[in-house]
């Protein structure tokens, strides 16, 4: 297993003195991939191709066929990360106060072990719940 160090916890805002490493660091990095527009990272081709802005997808007109493509797009984006072996994502669409929202469940097999993420996406925010593998 490669050690990718630690970083500041910045899910839900930066928290001074709180650090993450291992699975939580990877989970945080994967969430950032799903909330970043393509081309925002500086660097080479890999950096320029990183990102899948989920709130932007939600703003589009989504029919059942298009909804079925979101999970594979998430899988493809997450598997670009060098620590991720495989990823699988399921997307459930619901209406909240007349607006469309998604619950996305992601299972990850990685260099640091298996874990899952549950994302709640609406047109403005993405919230994440991290789950250790059983």
Per residue of the chain (134 residues), what is the pLDDT tens digit? 555 565 555 555 555 667 777 888 888 889 888 988 887 777 787 777 888 888 888 866 678 888 899 999 999 999 999 999 999 999 999 887 878 889 999 999 999 899 999 998 887 778 777 777 64
The pTM assigned to this predicted structure is 0.81
How many domains does one find in the chain? 1
CA 56 to chain centroid: 14
* C-alpha–C-alpha distance, residues 11 and 14, integer Å: 7
Q: Give how far Cα 114 sits from Cα of 13, 51, 127, Å.
A: 25, 22, 20
Q: What is the pLDDT of residues 112-129, one digit of tens each?
A: 899 999 998 887 778 777
* C-alpha–C-alpha distance, residues 50 and 80, integer Å: 8
User: What does the pLDDT read at residue 53?
Assistant: 87
User: What does the pLDDT read at residue 15?
Assistant: 55
User: What does the pLDDT read at residue 59?
Assistant: 65
Residue 70 lies in a domain: yes
Residue ranges making up the domain that contains 63: 6-132
Residue 71 contacts residue 91 (beta carbons within 8 Å): yes
**Residue 65: CATH number of its domain:** 3.10.450
Residue 1 lies in a domain: no
Residue 14 lies in a domain: yes
Residue 120 lies in a domain: yes
Q: Give how far Cα 126 sits from Cα of 37, 54, 83, 92, Å.
A: 14, 8, 22, 14
* C-alpha–C-alpha distance, residues 103 and 71, integer Å: 11
């Amino acid at each position: 297993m490669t050690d990718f160090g630690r970083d500041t916890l910045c899910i839900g805002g930066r928290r001074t003195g709180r650090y993450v490493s291992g699975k939580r660091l990877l989970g945080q990095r994967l969430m950032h991939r799903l909330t970043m527009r393509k081309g925002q990272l500086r660097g080479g081709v890999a950096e320029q191709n990183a990102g899948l802005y989920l709130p932007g997808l939600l703003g589009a007109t989504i029919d059942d066929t298009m909804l079925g493509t979101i999970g594979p797009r998430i899988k493809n984006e997450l598997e670009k990360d060098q620590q991720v072996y495989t990823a699988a994502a399921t997307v459930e669409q619901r209406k909240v106060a007349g607006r469309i929202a998604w619950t996305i469940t992601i299972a990850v097999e990685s260099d640091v072990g298996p874990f899952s993420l549950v994302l709640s996406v609406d047109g403005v925010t993405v919230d994440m719940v991290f789950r250790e593998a059983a």
